[in-house]
Chains A and B, each alone.
Chain A
Amino acid sequence: ETGVTQTPRHLVMGMTNKKSLKCEQHLGHNAMYWYKQSAKKPLELMFVYSLEERVENNSVPSRFSPECPNSSHLFLHLHTLQPEDSALYLCASSQGLGTTTDTQYFGPGTRLTVL
């Protein structure tokens, strides 16, 4: 596979469930990101990882827990979510941070519905 892949593509979960979103990039990049896209809202940056270390956390609730075991994989662990967390979750990667090649490439997203 090439580019950035995300699984699952669709997820429906109850408020008491625990689930994880997976992102994998095949571009040899060193930085990975999680974004949330809600209806009628601008994209929101949730987490940024560079070389497996978290760089940015834009005040995201603790019910979202990211994990970056290596530069190719990024997870978003979900627990006790709320209905308002229903959204499209997008993963992205870039060559690095603060370089001229910092363009982000996005995966197809996971459409999450919280019941």
Chain B
Amino acid sequence: AQKVTQAQTEISVVEKEDVTLDCVYETRDTTYYLFWYKQPPSGELVFLIRRNSFDEQNEISGRYSWNFQKSTSSFNFTITASQVVDSAVYFCALGPYNFNKFYFGSGTKLNVKP
């Protein structure tokens, strides 16, 4: 079965703190993609990153970084020096390589307070 679990329903931090959002997935596929999306209060989903299952290198983009651990089926997302504009719901998603059928986690709501 394909499944994505985001155990943290809501996280609150104070601006400039670092925060890590957890994502654990289940799949029987050997090749797949993992994604993170951000959904700000406006509602529009914003694509953040796509990671191929063959590539376990960690990725850093500005204040964002992602830690892909195939051994633990996790794809965690860290925001360094959080800002109020980072407040949003963050979704982790799993997609098989040969068909675009996405499985989304239930999302983690991040509140960054000034």
Contact = CB atoms under 8 A, between A and B. Distances in A.
Chain A bound to chain B: yes
A111 B101 contact: no
Interface stretch (A17-25, A68-76, A77-85, A94-102): A94-102
A102 B91 contact: no
Contact of A88 (B43, B91, B97, B98): B43
Q: Which of B45, B100, B101, B106 has the most CB of A within 10 A?
A: B100
B100 A111 contact: no
Nearest to A6: B44
Given A97-B99, A98-B97, A102-B95, A43 B43 contact: no
Given A42-B106, A42-B107, A43-B91, A106 B44 contact: yes
A23 to B, nearest CB: 13
A15 interface: no
B88 to A, nearest CB: 13
Contacts of B99: 97-98
Contact of B100 (A40, A97, A108, A109): A97
Nearest to A97: B100
A94 B102 CA distance: 12
29 contacts: A41-B106, A42-B4, A42-B103, A42-B104, A42-B105, A42-B106, A43-B91, A48-B100, A56-B101, A88-B43, A90-B45, A92-B45, A97-B99, A98-B98, A98-B99, A98-B100, A100-B52, A103-B35, A103-B50, A104-B47, A104-B102, A106-B37, A106-B44, A106-B45, A106-B47, A108-B42, A108-B44, A109-B43, A109-B45
